[in-house]
Amino acid sequence: MIVKKILLTLLLVYTSIDAKEYTQAKQACYTGDLSRCTLLGYLYKHGLTVNRDYIASVQFYTKACKGNNAGGCSGLGYMYQYAKGVDQDIEKAFRLYQKGCEGGSSFGCSNLGLLYQHGAGVTQNDKKAITLYTKGCEGGDAFGCSNLGLMYYLGHSLPQDYTKALKMFTQSCKKGYAGACANLGLMHKQGEGVQQDNNEAIELFTQACDGYSAIGCLWLGRMHEEGDTLKQNAVKAEELYQKSCDWGNTQGCENVKKLNPSAD
């Protein structure tokens, strides 16, 4: 499945409202304020203010999208892409992201770009992906900025350019996307496009790991294991590798086994 192949995780912008605001948002949604419906879908998806409930999230996103709310359509597309409260349907996710992007949702544009890059639900097209990542990034979506930065970093369908990659990752990290912070940390650790600085790398890896980035935890664990600027600490390294493993990084799982061969 394409979902299993994607190394980056989607941005979670943590927004919480109090009980009174939640009640007001729900009333507004039912009386036709579709932006409030989209907000409720987001809150239920992430378990903010309310208990996480993917089915309720889908219901609110669906209501918003049926009223042509771009954010609602994009949010619903995510639910179909990652099988949250509904059966996975990549082609439906594609159509919803497309509708959201055309309606002005930068989140929809960035995620539509991801599907084009990986050829999921559509013919693979890096040029189209780059256009959509750029549109998403320019619209303020951190995920689009990060993925565009990764293409510059790797020289994937774009000329390799560490300066541009650094700019994109920095912009995305400042907006709160943990995956970009991990990539930025790696550039600081390796002195790519910036002066080599292990202390800055550690700070960024920590920020990324705290934000649920498997790659961030992996690199932070490696610095603890090797005693690279940090005091060597195999126990802490194993703990971080385990986090990385739990969040889907196979290298983290391998590193746990290396440090603790008796681990399951």
Q: What is the pTM of this model?
A: 0.89
* 110, pLDDT greater than 60: yes
Model pLDDT for residues 136-181, shown as the tens digit of each residue? 999 999 999 999 999 999 999 999 999 999 999 999 999 999 999 9
Following DSSP, what letter does each residue of 231-262 receive, concatenated?
PP-HHHHHHHHHHHHHTT-HHHHHHHHHH-TT
In a domain, 180, yes or no: yes
Model pLDDT for residues 121-138, shown as the tens digit of each residue? 999 999 999 999 999 999
Q: What is the mean pLDDT of residues 49-60?
A: 97
User: In the prediction, which pLDDT does 5 show?
Assistant: 32
Give the span between the Cα atoms of 155 and 152, in whole angstroms.
5
Q: Which domain holds residue 197?
A: 168-259
> Does 123 share its domain with 226?
no
Model pLDDT for residues 183-212, shown as the tens digit of each residue? 999 999 999 999 999 999 999 999 999 999
Q: Which of 62, 67, 146, 75 is nearest to 108 (CA)?
A: 75
Say how many domains are in the chain: 2
CATH assignment of the domain containing 80? 1.25.40.10
In a domain, 149, yes or no: no
